[in-house]
Chains A and B, each alone.
Chain A
Amino acid sequence: MLEARGMSKRFGEHTVLQDINLSIQRSEVVCLIGPSGSGKSTLLRSLAFLENYDDGEVFVEGELLGYDRASDGRRVRSRPSRLSDVRRNMGMVFQQFNLWPHLSVLENVMEALLRVRGMKKDAARRLALATLEKVGLAEKADAWPNRLSGGQQQRVAIARSLAMSPAIMLFDEPTSALDPELVGEVLQVMRQLAEEGMTMVVVTHEMGFAARVADRVLFLDQGHIVEQGPPMTLFKNPQSPRLAQFLGNYLERNSLFEAAPALNRVDD
Chain B
Amino acid sequence: MAHASLWQRCLTPRATIPKTLTWSAGIGVWLVVIALWALVTYSGLVRSIFLPTPTAVLSAAVSMIGDGSLWKDIWSSAQVVLYGFLLSSAIAIPLGILMGSFRLAQAFLDPLVNFMRYLPVTAFVPLFILWIGIGIEQRVTVIFFGIFFQQLVMIADISRGVSQDLINASYTLGAKRRDVVTHVLFPACLPGVIDMMRVTMGWAWTFVVVAELVAANSGLGYISLKAMRGFQVDVIFLSIGLIGLLGLVTDQFFRLLRKRLTSWAL
Give A contacts to B, CB under 8 Å: 48, 50, 80-81, 84, 87-88, 90-92, 94-96, 98, 100-104, 111-112, 115-117, 144-146, 157, 160-161, 164
Contacts and interface: CB of A to CB of B under 8 A. Distances in A.
B173 A116 contact: yes
Nearest to A94: B165
Contacts of B121: none
B264 A98 contact: no
A47 to B, nearest CB: 11
A96 B165 contact: yes
A116 B187 contact: no
A116 B174 contact: yes
A88 to B, nearest CB: 6
26 contacts: A50-B168, A80-B176, A81-B176, A87-B174, A94-B165, A95-B165, A96-B163, A96-B165, A98-B163, A98-B165, A98-B166, A101-B264, A101-B265, A102-B188, A102-B262, A102-B264, A112-B173, A112-B174, A112-B175, A115-B174, A115-B175, A115-B183, A116-B174, A145-B264, A146-B265, A157-B169
B179 A146 contact: no
A117 B173 CA distance: 10
Interface in B151-174: 163, 165-166, 168-174
Contacts of A111: 173, 183
Nearest to B164: A50
A88 B171 CA distance: 10
Interface in B163-212: 163, 165-166, 168-177, 179, 183-184, 187-188, 190
B172 A161 contact: yes
A80 B177 contact: yes
Contacts of B166: 98, 100
Contact of A90 (B165, B172, B177, B263): B172
Give the interface size bracket for B toward A: 20 to 34
A164 B168 contact: no
Given A80-B176, A80-B177, A102-B187, A50 B171 contact: yes
Contacts of B183: 100, 111, 115
Contacts of A94: 165, 168-169
A249 to B, nearest CB: 28
Secondary structure at chain B's binding surface: helix, strand, loop or mixed? helix
A88 B172 CA distance: 8
Given A92-B169, A102-B264, A146-B266, A84 B174 contact: yes
Closest 9 CB pairs of A and B: A116-B174, A98-B169, A102-B187, A92-B172, A112-B173, A144-B264, A98-B166, A94-B165, A98-B165
Nearest to B170: A100
A48 to B, nearest CB: 6
Contacts of B177: 80
A123 to B, nearest CB: 17
Contacts of A102: 187-188, 190, 262, 264
Given A94-B168, A100-B184, 15 more contacts: A84-B176, A94-B165, A94-B169, A98-B163, A100-B187, A101-B187, A101-B265, A111-B173, A112-B174, A112-B175, A116-B173, A116-B174, A144-B263, A144-B264, A161-B173
A144 B264 CA distance: 6
Nearest to A157: B169
Contacts of A80: 176-177
Contacts of A96: 163, 165
Most A CB contacts (10 A, CB to CB) among B174, B183, B263 go to: B174
A80 B177 CA distance: 8
